[in-house]
Amino acid sequence: MASEIRVRFAPSPTGYLHIGGARTALFNWLFTRHHGGKFVLRIEDTDRTRNIEKAMAAICDGLQWLGLNWDEGPHIGGDFGPYLQSERTELYESYLKKLQDGGHIFEDQGALRFRSPREHVIVDDLVCGKIDFDLSNEQTHPDMTIRRPDGSWIFHFVNVIDDMEMKISHVIRGEDHLSNTPKHIEIFRALGATPPHYAHIPLILNKNGSKMSKRDEGARVEYYIKRGYLPAAVCNYLCLLGWSPKDNREKINIEEIIRLFDLNNVGRSHATFDPDKLHWLNGEYARELSDSEFYALALTRLKSSGVKIDNYPEEYVRAALQTCKGKINMFDELPAYCGFYFTDDFDYNPEGVAKHFTAENKPRLKAVRDAFSALQRFDAAEIETTLKITAANLGVKVGAIVHPTRLAVSGSNIGPSLYHLLEVLGKEKVLARIDRALSKFF
C-alpha cells in the first residue's frame, strides 16, 4: 500500500502561504511520510493576473521554513510534471476533447460547461464519513463551467485532470472543498477514471468563532517567520488543529507525529486557533535549543531589530544572551528583554520609576553602589552575597534593593537574573548606570 500513496498540496499563488493552507500541507505531508509515499507540490495558477513567480516563491519559502519538503514539484521536477497549471494547457485540451467526444460538454454564451448526469453522488470521506449529495436538481446544482469565454480554465476541471494524471491516491484538503467533491467525482466518472480517496479536514477558526481570513493577524506563515517563531513549534501546534494523538499531549516532536499520524484521528469539529497556546509551545521549544542554536537565532533577531551588537566583543554578547536562554518564548521579545546590554542610553520604565525610584530608596541605591565599588571580584556569587549583606545592614529585605538596582542598570522591572546580569555588565558599567539613575531621578 505504501508505494501507492501519492498526495498533493495544490495552492493558488496568492503571494503568501495562509496558515490554513500550511496546516493542509502539513496533514498531507504527515500522511505520506507515515505511509512512505510521495508528497507533490502543484501550483494552481490558472489566474493569469497574478505575479506567479513571486507568489510561488512565497509558498515555497513558507513550506521550506516549516520543513515540509516535497518529493515532486517546482524546483525539483518529477515524472508527472510540469507542476504549474499554466504549463499544462495542451493536456487540458486533450481531456476536454475526450469529454466533448463523449457528449459531456455544451457551450453556453461562449463558456464551456460540463453536462451533469443529474444523479446522487455518494462521497465516502475518510474524515466526514459517507455523504449523499443530490445533484439531480438543475436549479440548485447548475451545470458547472469548466472553461470561461476567454479560454481560461476553471478550477474544478483542471484540478481533476491533474489529480488523475499525477496519480493522486488521496486528496486531503479543507472542509470548505467538500461541496466541490461530488462535482469532481462526476468528471472522473465521465472520463472513466476512479476518483481518489477524499479526506476533508476541519476549518481553522479564530477564538471568536469567525473563519480565519488573510486579514487576521497571524493568518500568514510569513508572520511567524518574521516574529522569530520556531518552525518545529509551529508544525507541532498546527498538527493539533484537528488531529489528536489521543493522549492529551501538546508537545510532540515531528518524528513521533509522523509515526502516530492517522486520518482516523482527525476530528469533525472546527479547530480553534489559540495564539496564546502557540506562544507557550514556542517557549517550550526555545528552552530545548542548544546554546549555539539559541545564540545564532538570537543574534539574527537582534541584528534585524537594529540592536548594535557589532559594537561589542563576541564574548560579551554570548554571555549577555546566555542570561536570556530559557527566559523568553519568542525571539522578537529579545530586543525589549535584553537591549539594555547593548546601549547605555536606554529609557526607564515609567511604572518602575514611580514605584522604585522613591525618596526612601535613594540612600539604599547609594549603599548598593558603595558596596559594589568596594568589590575586588565582581561575579554573580559575590554580587548576590553583597546585596544580601547590604540589605541586612539597611534593615530591609533584599527585594527592597534588588528592584531599584535592576531598574537603574537596565531601565526595566523584569529581565534576566539580576546577579548574572550585573556580572555580564561588569563593575564599571554597573557603577556608571547607578550614577546615571541617581543623578536623573533623585
Looking at the chain, the whole-number percentage of residues with pLDDT higher than 70 is: 98
**Cα 50–Cα 53–Cα 57 angle in degrees, nearest 5:** 115
Confidence of residue 50 (pLDDT cuts 50, 70, 90): low
Q: What is the pLDDT of residue 290?
A: 96
Rounded to whole angstroms, how far apart are CA atoms 216 and 294?
Answer: 29
- Of 31, 35, 25, the residue nearest 1 (C-alpha): 35
- Of 81, 75, 182, the residue nearest 128 (C-alpha): 182
Which CA distances in Å does 228 have to 120, 283, 328, 344, 426?
Answer: 50, 11, 11, 26, 29
Tell me the average pLDDT across 155-177: 97
Contact (CB, 8 A) for 30 and 261: yes
Confidence of residue 367 (pLDDT cuts 50, 70, 90): very high
The whole-model pTM stands at 0.91
Average pLDDT, the chain: 94
Residue 36 gets the label, from left (phi > 0), alpha (psi -120 to 50) or beta, of left
Q: What is the pLDDT of residue 405?
A: 97
Q: What is the pLDDT of residue 1?
A: 40
Rounded to whole angstroms, how far apart are CA atoms 38 and 79?
Answer: 12
Active-site positions read 214
Q: What is the 3-state secondary structure (H, E, C) of 263-286?
A: HHHECCCCEECCHHHHHHHHHHHH
Which pairs with CB-CB distance under 8 Å and at least 24 residues apart come from 215-219? 218/19, 218/273, 218/275, 219/18, 219/19, 219/20
Residue 82 burial by Cβ neighbours in a 10 Å radius (0-12, 13-18, 19+)? middle
Q: What is the pLDDT of residues 54-96, one digit of tens each?
A: 889 999 999 999 999 999 999 999 999 999 999 999 999 999 9
Tell me the average pLDDT across 184-211: 94
Q: What is the pLDDT of residue 239?
A: 95
Tell me the average pLDDT across 204-217: 84
Q: What is the pLDDT of residue 291?
A: 96
Give me the sheet containing 111-114, strands edge to edge: 105-108, 111-114, 145-147
- Of 14, 157, 138, the residue nearest 85 (C-alpha): 157
Confidence of residue 160 (pLDDT cuts 50, 70, 90): very high
Q: What is the pLDDT of residues 258-301, one digit of tens each?
A: 999 999 999 998 999 999 999 999 999 999 999 999 999 999 99
Q: What is the pLDDT of residue 53?
A: 82
Q: Whose grid coordinates read 541586612? A: 392
Q: What is the pLDDT of residues 330-362, one digit of tens each?
A: 999 999 999 999 999 999 999 999 999 999 999
Confidence of residue 2 (pLDDT cuts 50, 70, 90): very low
- Phi then psi dihedrals of residue 48, to 5 deg: -75, -10
Tell me the average pLDDT across 105-119: 96
Q: What is the pLDDT of residues 368-426, one digit of tens each?
A: 999 999 999 999 999 999 999 999 999 999 999 999 999 999 999 999 999 999 999 99
Rounded to whole angstroms, how far apart are CA atoms 305 and 155?
Answer: 42
Rounded to whole angstroms, how far apart are CA atoms 416 and 320?
Answer: 9
Q: What is the pLDDT of residues 131-150, one digit of tens each?
A: 999 999 999 999 999 999 99
Query: Over 70: is that where the pLDDT of 3 sits?
Result: no
Query: Over 90: is that where the pLDDT of 15 sits?
Result: no
Confidence of residue 216 (pLDDT cuts 50, 70, 90): confident
Q: What is the pLDDT of residue 209?
A: 86
